[in-house]
């Protein structure tokens, strides 16, 4: 594959767009050589692959070098690493002991518009959007490109979804341009995402017929269901019925729950049965997709050398659970000081994959990794016992979209539609898979907790807390160190949105800042 370099302004901020990718999309036959010359020649397959690679890589030379985005530390520009930080660290699930610039602000929900990591995420999302725009401008909707164009539109909608969710009123850009973009309101972005998904889905591959790692119709249906589940947050108008419609399509698509649960988060989750549940993974390979985000970040940042080996030499000892995370499995605050295998047994729930040996349940000292139980959910070990490809970088694909989400969307949406009897079987199915005890009924609060148990540390908690009215504002729910105090305190509702980065507003005077910043 040849790499071509081209400068674009998106919007009005310079990016170095490396028009290529590594071999993360297995069915693309590309030349692995590098052309260092500047060129505007369009090379379809590498550009298409790069739209996906935006989620899996940070640059074009291994884990560090020739980064995608100018002016940003490459390691912190990883899509999933920053998505995880923004959706997990300000919540009741996770806290990080590192003092890196930006981490404490995430822990305590005290960021401002100059926050570097939040800025990196903004540009990572628009980098993906620009790549998709470039691809769509330079292809035609014929027999050779119809499905590729549909996937590019899906991925652009996915990037816009997170940009809208994080930043609210943002520029809506559908063509590569050097002009300063106008700002659109959140509802307009929502309607664009909805329209794109409804239009592109018919041209996408049928469920489970596309190459593993690429999106099919089920991915578009699941993103629509997610969009509609949060419609009241984004537009002021709930869409519970539409959330049900598209979640049901996902359940009818042929994807099924993986058992055992832990196989979803192992180094061979592309072959061990987890691929039957994972609708869209972020592909990882210890040789071909080396970076300091994605699967390597998930495993290394949650592990310390005193824990059971996780199949990588990296044990960064950063992210661990707040007490409230553990009460989801041990409501009496009596989580035992045992490893993850015994923790699962005592919790009577296969999802309680936490390590408590030599750990404190209470996080008294934020900077001490042993204050807080360790998440042992993610591992680069293989279910077969085979050796991972690399001693450092991991093979575990990030299970970015999986069918279990549709179960909980159905349970929540039907409960909000006052159909609790129809909602109950979906949670029962998830608890059966986890070998957990089923309840006679499930309230909305129970469902909020079930989201936490099922998707712990997977990078979504903030979105769910906002939807349930438990994040910013005068809520009835606090957690340890919420708002920066040990006992927890509410923070203002405007923090349900992140600010438009200062760097972007300086570059583009058309952009107004979100309220409160």
3-state secondary structure 177-200: CCCCCCECCHHHHHHHHHHHHHHH
Residue 10 has pLDDT above 70, yes or no: no
Q: CA nearest 482: which of 368, 289, 322, 330? A: 322
Which whole number is the average pLDDT over 350-363? 98
Reported as a pLDDT band with limits 50, 70 and 90, residue 78 is very high
Please state, in angstroms and rounded to a whole number, the distance separating the CA atoms of residues 29 and 23: 9
Q: CA nearest 319: which of 497, 26, 87? A: 87
pLDDT of residue 393: 95
Give residues with Cβ within 8 angstroms of 346, minimum separation 6. Answer: 336, 338, 352
For 513, which DSSP code? P
Residue 11 has pLDDT above 70, yes or no: no
Reported as a pLDDT band with limits 50, 70 and 90, residue 44 is very high
pLDDT tens-place string over residues 212-243:
999 999 999 999 999 999 999 999 999 999 99
pLDDT of residue 69: 77
Q: Is the dihedral of CA 387, 307, 330, 97 positive or negative?
A: negative
Give residues with Cβ within 8 angstroms of 506, minimum separation 6. Answer: none
23 vs 133, higher pLDDT: 133
Model pTM score: 0.93
Contact yes or no for 128/134 (Cβ under 8 A): no
Q: CA nearest 294: which of 322, 259, 321, 267? A: 267
pLDDT of residue 29: 28
**Phi/psi class of residue 30: alpha, beta or left (left: φ > 0; alpha: ψ in -120 to 50)?**
beta
Please state, in angstroms and rounded to a whole number, the distance separating the CA atoms of residues 226 and 460: 11
pLDDT tens-place string over residues 158-168:
999 999 999 99
Which whole number is the average pLDDT over 470-484? 97
pLDDT of residue 41: 83
Q: Which residue has the tokens 């822990």?
A: 107
Please state, in angstroms and rounded to a whole number, the distance separating the CA atoms of residues 310 and 301: 11
pLDDT tens-place string over residues 236-274:
999 999 999 999 999 999 999 999 999 999 999 999 999
pLDDT of residue 165: 98
Which whole number is the average pLDDT over 438-443? 98
pLDDT tens-place string over residues 366-381:
999 999 999 999 999 9
């Amino acid at each position: 594959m040849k790499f071509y370099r081209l400068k674009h302004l998106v919007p009005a901020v310079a990016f170095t767009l490396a028009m290529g990718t590594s071999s993360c999309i297995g069915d693309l036959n590309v030349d692995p050589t590098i052309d260092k010359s500047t060129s505007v020649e369009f090379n379809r397959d590498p550009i298409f692959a790069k739209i996906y690679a935006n989620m899996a890589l940070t640059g074009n030379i291994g884990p560090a070098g020739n980064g995608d985005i100018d002016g940003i530390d490459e390691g912190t520009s990883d899509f999933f690493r920053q998505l995880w930080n923004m959706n997990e660290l300000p919540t009741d699930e996770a806290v990080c002991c590192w003092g890196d610039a930006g981490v404490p602000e995430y822990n305590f929900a005290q960021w401002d518009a100059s926050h570097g990591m939040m800025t990196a995420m903004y540009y990572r999302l628009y980098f993906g959007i620009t790549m998709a725009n470039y691809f769509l401008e330079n292809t035609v909707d014929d027999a050779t490109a119809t499905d590729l164009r549909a996937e590019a539109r899906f991925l652009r909608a996915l990037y816009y979804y997170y940009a809208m969710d994080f930043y609210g009123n943002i520029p809506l850009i559908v063509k590569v341009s050097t002009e300063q973009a106008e700002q659109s309101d959140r509802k307009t972005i929502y309607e664009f995402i909805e329209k794109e998904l409804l239009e592109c889905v018919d041209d996408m591959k049928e469920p489970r017929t596309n190459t593993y790692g690429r999106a099919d119709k089920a991915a578009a249906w699941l993103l629509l269901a997610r969009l509609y589940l949060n419609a009241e947050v984004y537009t002021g108008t709930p869409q519970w019925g539409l959330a049900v419609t598209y979640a049901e399509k996902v359940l009818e698509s042929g994807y099924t729950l993986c058992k055992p649960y832990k196989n979803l988060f192992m180094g061979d989750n592309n072959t061990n049965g987890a691929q039957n549940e994972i609708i869209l993974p972020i592909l990882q390979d210890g040789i071909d997709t080396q970076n300091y985000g994605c699967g390597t970040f998930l495993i290394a940042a949650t592990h310390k050398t005193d824990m059971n080996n996780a199949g990588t030499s990296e044990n960064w000892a950063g992210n661990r659970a707040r007490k409230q995370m553990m009460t989801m499995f041990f409501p009496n605050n009596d989580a035992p000081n045992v490893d993850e295998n015994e923790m699962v047994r005592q919790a009577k729930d296969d999802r309680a994959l936490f390590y408590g040996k030599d750990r404190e349940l209470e996080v008294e000292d934020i900077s001490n990794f042993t204050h807080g139980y360790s998440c042992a959910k993610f591992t680069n070990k293989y279910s077969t016992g085979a050796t991972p490809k690399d001693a450092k970088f991991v093979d575990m694909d990030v299970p970015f979209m999986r069918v279990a989400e549709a179960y909980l969307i159905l349970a929540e949406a039907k409960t909000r539609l006052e159909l609790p009897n129809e909602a109950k079987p979906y949670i029962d199915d998830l608890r059966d898979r986890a070998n957990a005890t089923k309840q006679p009924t499930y309230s909305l609060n129970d469902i909020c907790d079930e989201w936490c148990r099922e998707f712990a540390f997977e990078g979504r908690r903030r979105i769910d807390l906002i939807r349930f009215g438990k994040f910013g504002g005068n809520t009835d729910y606090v957690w340890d160190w919420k708002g920066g105090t040990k006992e927890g305190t509410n923070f203002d509702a405007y923090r349900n949105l992140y600010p438009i980065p200062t760097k972007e507003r300086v570059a583009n005077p058309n952009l107004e800042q979100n309220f409160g910043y």
